[in-house]
């Protein structure tokens, strides 16, 4: 498995936009977390497609230590109803379009992990397109990236390759430090 | 000899009578001595009504104010010379019509008496045609500018004023309007180079798009076409500028909507499809428990429902944005 992220750049708290094909994006998610964990980082995964429990099981199977990952889950609460947050493990939000709750959850989760080397992984920009216009996605990502830079935290945004229109792609490219097309 | 004179007189009279322009010979104090057939036809007043009297002028110019203007104009001309040329007046005919007459006069002496010959050419049709053409130019929905060989603007129609904000008074006879319309020196230079290149190959250009800055400070996109007009070595340039700003905006909006729609529909459908396939594989591998299967299926059902809502939103947006869509299709798009 090739390394996608330069450890030096991660150390510099850079922000990455990682592109993957629709068929490989799930595997890329696991590969990246394994790589980031190996570098001693805790990853906060914002999941908009799978319940956190499924991802946690996939990661465990991929040999990723459970305590090196925590989740902001935008899927489960919408189906199951009232589920309790598990501090340090998972915070639930009602749906992926609720950007206010998502912003609060990110802030809270980063507080939970204070003192650790943390990387945020946003999975995925493409799923967000179901619920939000490209304008709103762009604004939200800009907001999150500003927050990450202020808190001196690195971040990874996953997106399906060729899935973003040139305007959104240009904006995201401007916001992030690195665009890596993993194919 | 007398017979010869009579024949000559008769021939002159016949020529006078059959001339295609109105000819009136005036004696003392404007009394009409001769009134030809064309004069009768044009004015509607017969020789019988006119000869020996000077009242015809009041009939032809019944409006006192207008008559005063014409009289003053003639008096002004006659101060310096005893004839006038190409004096254009509007007469009122017996049937109540207005006719435009172009007058030329000449003084002659006949049998020791001084006479004025007034020759009036009916230019009504010509003037109407000119007015019609001017009206077409003025009311055309495209900017029309005609430039003389020195680049000075000679014609600047209403559309030109409406689009640019500059009135004919600010533009006619000048060359500096282009600097106002293209105030950015670099853009203007690039444009001039481009036009020069085109003109070098052909003496006109077609569908050249430029962005002007109007007097109000708004940007408008114009599509220009030019042609050279004229002959005898003196050429004028006629420039037609069609304001395509709204068209471009609509096209850009439509492209933006189509792109957004592709991005927000194709990708999400792929995501739903891939998630379901992956989930099926996870299920086969025993990686999903019942509750998780429910959550995955429900979340993908929500995604699918949201995709349908997005399609409806886009349909409406396209229908609203593009009013040129036929009514039946618009209703379909509006759901």
Closest CB to B263: pick one of A26, A53, A164. Answer: A164
Provide the 10 A C-beta neighbour count for residue B307.
18
The string of pLDDT tens digits covering residues A5-54 is: 888 898 888 999 999 988 888 889 999 999 999 999 999 999 998 999 99
The span from the CA of A26 to the CA of B243, in Å, is 50
Q: What residues of B are in contact with residue A131 (Cβ under 8 Å)?
A: 306
Q: What residues of B are in contact with residue A95 (Cβ under 8 Å)?
A: 302
Q: Do B264 and A130 touch (CB under 8 A)?
A: yes
Q: Which residue of B has its CA nearest to A159?
A: B267
The model carries a pTM of: 0.60
**CA dist B181 → B58, B153, B194, B199 (Å):** 52, 14, 17, 20
Closest CB to A129: pick one of B268, B274, B298. Answer: B268
ipTM over 0.90: no
Asked if B53 reaches chain A (Cβ–Cβ under 8 Å), the answer is: no
Q: What residues of A are in contact with residue B299 (Cβ under 8 Å)?
A: 49, 51, 75, 78-79
Asked if B283 reaches chain A (Cβ–Cβ under 8 Å), the answer is: no
Q: Which residue of B has its CA nearest to A164?
A: B263
Q: Which residue of A has its CA nearest to B283?
A: A54
What is the pLDDT at residue A53? 94
Q: Give 3-state DSSP helix, strand, coil % of chain B, rounded to 5.
A: 55, 20, 25
Domains and CATH numbers, chain A: 30-127 (3.40.50)
- Nearest-neighbour CA in chain B from A176: distance (Å): 20
- Of the residues B255, B283, B291, B292, the best mutation for testing chain A's interface (the one with the most A CB atoms within 10 Å of its CB) is B292
- Band of the pLDDT at A64, cuts 50, 70, 90? very high
- Of the residues A49, A58, A62, A160, the best mutation for testing chain B's interface (the one with the most B CB atoms within 10 Å of its CB) is A49
Per run of 10 residues, the mean pLDDT along chain B (length 335 residues) is 57 70 86 91 93 90 93 84 87 94 87 86 92 86 90 93 96 94 94 83 85 96 89 82 89 80 83 90 91 92 91 79 63 61
The span from the CA of A28 to the CA of A122, in Å, is 12
What is the pLDDT at residue B209? 93
Closest CB to B267: pick one of A50, A126, A133. Answer: A126
Q: Do B298 and A165 touch (CB under 8 A)?
A: no
Query: By C-alpha distance, which of A45, A98, A160 is closest to B264?
Result: A160
Closest CB to A75: pick one of B263, B295, B307. Answer: B295
Q: Do B264 and A75 touch (CB under 8 A)?
A: no
Q: Do A160 and B271 touch (CB under 8 A)?
A: yes
Query: By C-alpha distance, which of A8, A73, A72, A68 is closest to A34?
Result: A68
By CB neighbour count within 10 A (0-12 exposed, 13-18 middle, 19+ buried), where does B153 fall? buried
Closest CB to A54: pick one of B268, B274, B288. Answer: B288
Asked if B106 reaches chain A (Cβ–Cβ under 8 Å), the answer is: no
The span from the CA of A139 to the CA of A145, in Å, is 10
- Nearest-neighbour CA in chain B from A170: distance (Å): 14
The span from the CA of B84 to the CA of B261, in Å, is 75
What is the pLDDT at residue A80? 84
Question: Percentage of chain A surpassing pLDDT 90?
Answer: 52
By CB neighbour count within 10 A (0-12 exposed, 13-18 middle, 19+ buried), where does B185 fall? exposed
Asked if B47 reaches chain A (Cβ–Cβ under 8 Å), the answer is: no
- Band of the pLDDT at A97, cuts 50, 70, 90? confident
The DSSP secondary structure of B31-89, one letter per residue, reads -EEEE-HHHHHHH---HHHHTT-STHHHHHS-SHHHHHHHHHHHHHHHHH-S---SEEE
- Nearest-neighbour CA in chain A from B142: distance (Å): 33
Q: Do A51 and B306 touch (CB under 8 A)?
A: no
Tokens encoding A86: 């598990």
The DSSP secondary structure of B251-280, one letter per residue, reads HHHHHHHHHHHHHHHHHHHHHHHHHHHHHH
Q: Do B278 and A26 touch (CB under 8 A)?
A: yes
Given a contact cutoff of 8 angstroms between Cβ atoms, the answer to whether A164 and A123 are in contact is no
Question: Percentage of chain A surpassing pLDDT 70?
Answer: 99
Higher pLDDT, A97 or B101: B101
Strands B236-243 and B143-147: antiparallel
Average pLDDT score, chain A: 90
Q: Which residue of B has its CA nearest to A53?
A: B292
């Amino acid at each position: 498995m090739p390394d996608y992220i330069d450890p030096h750049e991660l150390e510099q708290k850079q922000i990455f936009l990682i592109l993957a094909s629709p068929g490989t994006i799930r595997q890329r998610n696991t590969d990246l977390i394994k790589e980031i964990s190996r570098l001693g980082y805790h990853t906060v995964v914002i999941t908009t497609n799978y319940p956190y429990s499924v991802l946690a099981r996939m990661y465990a199977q991929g040999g990723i230590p459970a305590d090196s990952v925590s989740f902001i889950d935008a899927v489960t609460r919408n189906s199951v109803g009232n589920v309790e947050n598990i501090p340090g493990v998972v915070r639930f939000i009602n749906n992926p379009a609720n950007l206010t709750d998502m912003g609060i959850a990110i802030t809270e989760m980063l507080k939970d992990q204070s003192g650790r080397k943390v990387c945020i992984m946003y999975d995925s920009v493409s799923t967000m397109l179901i619920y939000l216009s490209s304008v709103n996605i762009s604004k939200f990502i800009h907001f999150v990236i500003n927050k990450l830079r202020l808190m001196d935290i690195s971040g990874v945004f996953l997106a399906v390759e060729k899935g973003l229109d040139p305007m959104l792609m240009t904006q995201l490219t401007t916001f992030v430090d690195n665009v890596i097309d993993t194919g | 000899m007398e017979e010869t004179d009579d024949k000559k007189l008769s021939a002159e009279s016949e020529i006078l009578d059959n001339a295609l322009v109105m000819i009136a010979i005036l004696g003392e104090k404007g009394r009409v001595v001769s009134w030809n057939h064309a004069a009768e036809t044009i004015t509607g007043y017969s020789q019988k009504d006119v000869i020996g009297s000077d009242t015809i002028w009041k009939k032809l110019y019944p409006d006192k104010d207008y008559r005063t203007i014409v009289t003053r104009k003639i008096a002004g001309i006659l101060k310096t010379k005893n004839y006038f040329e190409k004096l254009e007046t509007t007469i009122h005919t017996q049937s109540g019509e207005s006719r435009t007459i172009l007058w030329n006069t000449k003084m002659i002496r006949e049998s020791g008496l001084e006479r004025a010959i007034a020759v009036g050419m009916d230019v009504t049709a010509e003037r109407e045609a000119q007015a019609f053409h001017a009206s077409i130019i003025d009311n055309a929905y495209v900017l029309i500018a005609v430039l003389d060989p020195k680049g000075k603007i000679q014609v600047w129609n209403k559309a030109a004023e409406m689009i640019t904000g500059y009135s004919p008074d600010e533009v006619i006879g000048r060359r500096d309007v282009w600097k106002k319309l293209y105030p950015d020196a670099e853009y203007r230079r690039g444009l001039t180079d481009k036009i020069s290149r085109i003109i070098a190959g052909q003496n006109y250009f077609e569908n050249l798009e430029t962005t002007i800055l109007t007097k109000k400070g708004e940007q408008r996109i114009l599509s220009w076409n030019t042609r050279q007009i004229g002959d005898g070595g003196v050429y004028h340039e006629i420039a037609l500028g069609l304001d395509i700003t709204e068209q471009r905006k609509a096209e850009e909006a439509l492209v933006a909507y189509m792109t957004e729609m592709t991005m927000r529909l194709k990708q999400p459908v792929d995501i739903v499809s891939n998630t379901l396939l992956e989930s099926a594989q996870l299920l086969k591998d025993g990686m999903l428990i019942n509750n998780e299967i429910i959550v995955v299926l429900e979340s993908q059902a929500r995604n699918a429902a949201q995709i349908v809502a997005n399609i409806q939103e886009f349909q409406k947006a396209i229908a609203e944005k593009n009013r040129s869509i036929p009514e039946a299709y618009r209703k379909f798009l509006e759901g």
